[in-house]
Each structure stands twice: as structure tokens, then as C-alpha cells.
Amino acid sequence: MSESCIFCRIIRGEIPSYKIYEDERTLAFLDINPSAPGHTLIIPKAHVTRVEDLSEEDAEALFRTLHRLVGGIQDAMEVPSSTIGINNGPESGQEVPHVHIHIIPRTRGDRGGIMQGLVRTTGRPSGEAMLDIAERIRERVG
């Protein structure tokens, strides 16, 4: 828990929210500044800033809640699809330093883009470069 964190304050009920779902480890509520109707945030109840710092239990619990809610959000908003994403760290645009999954309902013609279109810092790397990148990552996660 963090005294000043907005999302911790929502968990404690100090700031009101339009709550959608709650269990032992997670809470889901409507985003106050929605990109589309039904834009929902899912957060761990533990104050953790970044995905890589979540406990395995909270990581599992977050995805379980996402899986549980996403169909109902789409049905309720009468949309066929959604974009699901996490801004992980300030350089990615994270403003609230408490992990949160965005679920943004999507419709054809909503003029939204695709997540992989957010950034373009590379062209298509050579096979050699891809091998090198894969190896560098494997060394750190294996």
C-alpha cells in the first residue's frame, strides 16, 4: 500500500470509483477518462509499479481477472473486440505508478490504431540481428 497512490486510495475507498469486479487480489473499475465507453482498468491490490515486480500470484490473478471480465465488458458495450494493454514504465506513457491493465472496447471504424503501431524505432532486422536479439533476451530470462 502507498499512502499517496491514487489507485491505492481507490482500493481503500478514499476516492470513489465505478467498481466492476473485486476479489482477494484484484480490483476492476472504469477509467475516469475513457478512450471508449466501458474502458476498464484492472489492478492488483498490492502496490506494485511495474509488471516485472509483481509476485507470480498477483500476475496470475491479474490475468485471471482479465479473462473473467473481457467478454462481459464487450457484451455490455455491444462491441466485438477490445484492445488490452499495459503502459509499463514512464517512457511507455505510464502515469499512475501502480500496475494496471487497460481494456478498451473497440469497434470497426473507431479510428483507433493498433498497439504495434505505437512505436517504430526499427525496420525489419536481418536474420543475424534477430538471432542476436533472441540470444540476448534468452540469456536474461532462461
Which residues form the interface with ligand 5GP (CB under 6 A)? 6, 15, 17, 29-33, 87, 93-96
| Other C-beta atoms lying within 10 Å of the C-beta of residue 7 | 22
Residue 95 binding result from Zn ion, ligand 5GP, none, given CB thresholds of 5 to 8 Å by partner type: ligand 5GP
Looking at residue 18, what DSSP letter applies?
Answer: -
Binding footprint of Zn ion, residue count (CB under 5 A) = 6
Looking at residue 26, what DSSP letter applies?
Answer: E
Query: Binders of Zn ion among 12-31, rule CB under 5 A?
Result: none
The C-alpha atoms of residue 14 and residue 113 are separated, in whole angstroms, by 35
Rounded to a whole number of angstroms, the minimum distance from the CB of residue 36 to Zn ion is 25
Q: Is 100 a catalytic residue?
A: yes
Rounded to a whole number of angstroms, the minimum distance from the CB of residue 59 to Zn ion is 16
CB 83 within 8 A of CB 56: no
Q: Is 27 left (phi over 0), alpha (psi -120 to 50) or beta?
A: beta
Residue 17 binding result from Zn ion, ligand 5GP, none, given CB thresholds of 5 to 8 Å by partner type: ligand 5GP
Q: Name the residues annotated as catalytic.
A: 100
